[in-house]
Structure 1
Amino acid sequence: MPFAVRYCIHSATASDFASEGSKLLFERLKFKTSFLSTEPEIWPGDEDFKAGVTVVGGLRITNDTAKRGIALIHAFNTKITKSEDQRQHLLQVVEEHRRTQPGTSKQGLPSKSRQQ
């Protein structure tokens, strides 16, 4: 690990990593936060902390999901056309359509049950 990164991490305090968003995250995940009023060294023995760690450990990492999405889009794009010029033209057509037709979405399309 480079010295600058190591120095920044070691000189950081808990407040450098917390914000109002941290509190909101705890609330949304329904974490009990009683452990926050104790010393961090004893958190691993706290039942509320353990429950939170279990929940967080089960969350999907956004970056992993984004990587999979990008791979899926790339695979889809190569199925449509192998030509980069055609692909760029297609993307421009889609962008123009979205610009001229704002608010269109799949939910706005008639469903099969409504068509009958």
Structure 2
Amino acid sequence: MASTNTRRFFQKLRLEDGFLDADPATRLEREDFRTAAALVQGIAVINDQAEREVALIQEYNRRLTQDEEQRQFLLQVVSRHRAEFPDSRKKTMAAGVAAHQEQEH
């Protein structure tokens, strides 16, 4: 049984969806299935969210500094910080701060 969203997907592509009601063992024999499969396999999947995130990071980096040396230094600081604080939980941060304070004394 195909979901409403599955049927809507094929309708938006103007593809016959009768094969969705057919026995899966016989779908390969159906022309409507082969046509839909060929078209769907040719669709390039784009992750819009990931592309927006990359663009945002690139824009942030561009605005942060134009100096490549400063940018590399900042990336090293962030890398070290992530190594010391692998997550952003309050407990992890407090333990890291306490460890730094002990090292200073």
TM-score, normalisation: structure 2: 0.51
| Greater C-alpha Rg | 2
Aligned CA distance change for structure 1 residues 67 and 76 (closer, same or farther; 3 Å)? same
| Residue number among 76, 87, 94 corresponding to 2:59 in the alignment | 76
Q: Which has the higher contact order (CA 8 A, sep 6+)?
A: 2
5+ residue gaps, structure 1, are 1-14, 84-116
SS of equivalent residue, structure 2 residue 15: coil
How far does the alpha carbon of each residue in 1:73-95 deviate from its partner, in whole angstroms, 9 at most, with x for none? 21111101149xxxxxxxxxxxx
Question: One-letter code of the match for 1:72?
Answer: A
Give the corresponding residue for 2:21: 37
Deviation of 1:20 (Å): 1.7
Q: CA separation in 1, counterparts of 2:15 and 2:62?
A: 44
Give the corresponding residue for 2:41: 57
Identity of aligned residues (%): 18
Q: CA separation in 2, counterparts of 1:44 and 1:65?
A: 32
Provide the aligned length of Structure 1 versus Structure 2: 67
5+ residue gaps, structure 2, are 66-70, 72-105
Deviation of 1:44 (Å): 1.9
Q: CA separation in 2, counterparts of 1:43 and 1:51?
A: 11
TM-score, normalisation: structure 1: 0.47
